[in-house]
Each structure stands twice: as C-alpha cells, then as structure tokens.
Structure 1
Amino acid sequence: MHYTQKPQLEVHRDHGTPGALAGWGARVGAKLIDTLVVGVPGTLFYYVGESVIEAGLLISTVVSIAGWLWVIYEMGTTGQSIGKRRMNIGLVSERTGRPVGFGRAFVYEVAQILDALPLGIGYLWPLFDEKRQTFSDKIMDTLAVRT
C-alpha cells in the first residue's frame, strides 16, 4: 500500500515571513475595511434612495448583499478580500494551504455568527490560540496567514 502525504501549509511564527500566522490586529483591520467597503455604499444608497424613492431600503439591502457576495467570492477564490489584501493577510485551508473556494468561504462567513456568541469571545480567541484561530476557523479548518 502506497501512502501519499497531503500537502501541508508551512506555518511560520515569524510575522514577516509569508505563510506566517496573521496577527489579531491585522485580522481586525481587514474585517473593519471589508465592513466599511460594503457598509458605506449600502448606507449611502439607503439615505439617498430613501429621499428619492420609497425603495431605498430594498436598494441598500441589494447593494449590501451584492457587496458581501463579492467579498466572499474574492476571499474564496484568491484567499483575500479587499481588507485582507490591504492588511497583507489571506484565508487558506489548513490542510492544503490554498484558498477555500466560494462555498466554504460563504459557510465561513456564516460561521462567524458563532464568533460573536457569547460576547464576541470567538473574535478574541486568536489572542490565546496556538494557531490564532477564531471559532469559525476551527469549524472550517482554515488559517489566516501573512502574504
């Protein structure tokens, strides 16, 4: 029987090395940037649209959903959303070291609900975890790495 070893991501503890685990601050910064990139246009459409037409809420909702789907698509196919790219980090599969794909990136985003419960502990978990993973990272078997 021939055993083939699965490719493993080489994880470094040195933050300056590509493939090193991303720091908590970089992850928070990336999430804030993504939220602003998606949230600001949606909010503008809401307030401008509300004063012009009654469908302002509908338009802002569609714009926000489309924005998040684009962020998820980018993160799934390249490993980087706009915020992650600006913060020089990426999301990869712990097993393969490659981007996780759109479907898994979508589930990852949904799983972040668990990071917020209870009291946002999952978002703080990387501060104490050896692999710097949030709850959603552990569920989806992903790592945030420096690029």
Structure 2
Amino acid sequence: MRTAGPPPPDIPLEYTGFWPRVGASIIDTLIIIVITLPLLLLIYGWAYIESDALFFGTADVLINWVFPCIAIIAFWVYKQATPGKMVLEAKIVDATTGDKPSLKQYIIRYLGYFISTIPLGLGLLWVAWDERKQGWHDKMARTVVVNPEKKVSANDQVASS
C-alpha cells in the first residue's frame, strides 16, 4: 500500500497554485453570502447585521454552518470542485492515486479548513510554499487540487525536479 506522497510518475498533474485558489475561494464565499444573507435578513431582520452576537439562533447555525458544510461537500462529491474551482477548471483529487477522493477524505478536508485557519491562517497560506500546493487541510485529507486539463509534460517534470 502506498503512503501519501507524490502521485506515481505516470500521473502528470499540474497543481493549482495559491492565487487561483484564493480567487476560487472568493467566488465561493460570494455565492454563499448571496444565498445565506437574504435568508438571515428574512428571519432576523436588520438586527442580525447590527448585532455583535456570535449566536443568533437555530436558523443562524443552520444557515451559516450546516448549509455551507452540506453544500460544499456535495459539490466536492458530485463535481470534485466548488463553483469557484469549476471556474478555474480545477479539481480535487486523491494525492496518492490522482483519482476521485472518498467521502471520508472530503469530510476530513472540510474539517481541516478550521484547523488550517486557527494559527492565523497559516495552514491555508501553506499552499503558497508547498511544492504540491497543499494546504494543511489537503495534507490531512491526502488530497491535491489540480488542473486536469493541463497535463505537465515530461520536460516540465524534469525541470521542476
């Protein structure tokens, strides 16, 4: 059984870098805001915007935490990407095989976002420095984000070694 490491040499992958992933994240965040904010305003009114409360009620938790979790993981399961990553034509793949990750990997990846943000976002910034462009959430889930339409040539692989 292979351990988590670079994919086998016969799987040429182009890893999606830091700035494209930031752009995808911004797109996804805007989509979530466009969906959730009107619902929250409908339920709680403008008091929701003006409040300093961390917890506003059950609907707040369902709309801000449960819905995004289910929606994001559902996109990952069915498309291997969120809408933002789809704009980039990027996909999440298993770091070992290059295949579609398992549901368990997606859940670990999602929970890994929270761990990645705790130390001042260092786990997310890690994408900028990592040779495979993995954040801590990717490392925990053993996933990578790739541009499957852009194959890396053998010359590119030799040059980057």
Matched, 1:62 2:62: yes
Unaligned stretches of 5+ in structure 2? Answer: 2-6, 46-55, 149-161
Contact 1:45/1:60, CA 8 A, preserved across alignment: no
SS in 1 for 2:132: coil
Contact 1:73/1:105, CA 8 A, preserved across alignment: no
Alignment of 1:46-61 (within 5 A): 46-51=40-45, 57-61=57-61
SS in 2 for 1:22: coil
Name the aligned partner's letter for residue 87 of structure 1: L
The equivalent residue for 1:133 is: 134
Contact 1:92/1:143, CA 8 A, preserved across alignment: yes
The equivalent residue for 2:26 is: 32
Q: How many pairs are equivalent? A: 131
Cα deviation 1:9-53 (Å, max 9, x = unaligned)? 723xxxxxxx311011111111222222223321211112224xx
Matched, 1:143 2:144: yes
Highest relative contact order (Cα 8 Å, sep 6+), 1 or 2?
2
Q: Which runs of 4+ in 1 moved over 6 A?
A: none
What CA distance in whole angstroms lies between the structure 2 residues aligned with 1:76 and 1:27? Answer: 18
The equivalent residue for 1:21 is: 15
Give the structure-2-normalised TM-score: 0.70
**Do the aligned partners of residues 61 and 40 (structure 1) sit closer, same or farther apart at CA in structure 2, a change above 3 Å counting?**
farther
**Deviation of residue 116 (structure 1)?**
1.0
Name the aligned partner's letter for residue 35 of structure 1: T
What CA distance in whole angstroms lies between the structure 1 residues aligned with 2:17 and 2:134? Answer: 10
What CA distance in whole angstroms lies between the structure 2 residues aligned with 1:37 and 1:60? Answer: 17
The equivalent residue for 1:16 is: none
Taking only the aligned residue pairs, the percentage that are identical comes to 23
What CA distance in whole angstroms lies between the structure 1 residues aligned with 2:126 and 2:58? Answer: 36
The equivalent residue for 1:92 is: 93
Matched, 1:43 2:37: yes
What CA distance in whole angstroms lies between the structure 2 residues aligned with 1:121 and 1:37? Answer: 24
Give the structure-1-normalised TM-score: 0.76
Question: Pairwise CA RMSD of aligned residues?
Answer: 2.3
What CA distance in whole angstroms lies between the structure 2 residues aligned with 1:140 and 1:109? Answer: 9
The equivalent residue for 1:15 is: none
Unaligned stretches of 5+ in structure 1? Answer: 12-18
